[in-house]
């Protein structure tokens, strides 16, 4: 099974970006971590990052059309993009929202996610491990749907 790991704006700068919040590991480290986790779980993981809302929405349409399960870190779009939310709503396969930090423990504007209500579930606050946990959740959902 192919799954997408889609990352929104500024996540390409992991490692250089506010390391006290997001950690010292780089975006390349994240890609390797997701691919290795996928190998262990029997998932073919495709990791992408964009700073563009339009590009992210295009990928969500691609996932919807192909019924591809998704791990999504919408980054700042989480808090205000109804367009990303509406794209997430169109899919039928599972989609797990992830965050590296715990937005609920940060500034007030991060307490709202416009995506959570249309995601299968949300995992936040575990650093890059949030992605590992989300991939496990997708693998579980996949084996449920096969049994
Ligand atoms: C984030 C949390 C968001 O509030 C922030 O805008 C990000 C990253 C996270 O992974 O912790 O860019 O999604």
- The string of pLDDT tens digits covering residues 52-73 is 999 999 999 999 999 999 999 9
ipTM for the whole complex:
0.99
pTM (predicted TM-score): 0.97
Distance CA 147, CA 131 (A): 24
Give the Å distances, CA to CA, from 72 to 6, 22, 32: 5, 16, 16
pLDDT in tens, the chain (147 residues): 999 999 999 999 999 888 988 988 999 999 999 999 999 999 999 999 999 999 999 999 999 999 999 999 999 999 999 999 999 999 999 999 999 999 999 999 999 999 999 999 999 999 999 999 999 999 999 888 887
What pLDDT, on the 0 to 100 scale, is given for residue 21? 87
- Alpha carbon of 66 to ligand 1 centroid (Å): 27
The answer to whether 99 is a known catalytic residue is yes
- Specify binding-site residues: 73, 79, 86, 100-101, 110
Q: What is the pLDDT of residue 113?
A: 98
The whole-number pLDDT of residue 137 equals 98
Strand partners, 73: 7
Q: What is the pLDDT of residue 145?
A: 85
- CA separation for the pair 12, 25 (Å, rounded): 11
**Cα separations (Å) of 126 from 48, 75, 96, 116, 142?**
20, 15, 14, 17, 23
Domains of the chain: 2-146 (3.40.50.9100)
- Tell me the best of 20, 76, 115 to mutate to test the pocket of ligand 1, counting ligand atoms within 8 Å of each CB and taking the most: 76
Pairwise CA distance, residues 132 & 80, whole Å = 26
């Amino acid at each position: 099974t192919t799954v997408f790991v889609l990352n929104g704006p500024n996540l390409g700068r992991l490692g250089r970006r506010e390391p006290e919040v997001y950690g010292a590991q780089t975006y390349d480290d994240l890609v390797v971590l997701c691919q290795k986790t996928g190998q262990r779980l029997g998932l073919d993981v495709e990791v992408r990052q964009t700073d563009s809302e339009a590009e992210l929405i295009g990928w969500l349409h691609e996932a919807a059309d192909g019924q591809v399960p998704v791990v999504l870190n919408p980054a700042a779009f989480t808090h205000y993009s109804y367009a990303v939310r509406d794209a997430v709503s169109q899919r039928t396969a599972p989609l797990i929202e992830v965050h590296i930090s715990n937005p609920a423990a940060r500034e007030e504007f991060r307490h709202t996610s416009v995506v959570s209500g249309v995601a299968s579930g949300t995992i936040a606050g575990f650093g890059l491990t949030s992605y590992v946990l989300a991939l496990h959740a997708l693998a579980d959902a996949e084996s449920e749907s096969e049994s």
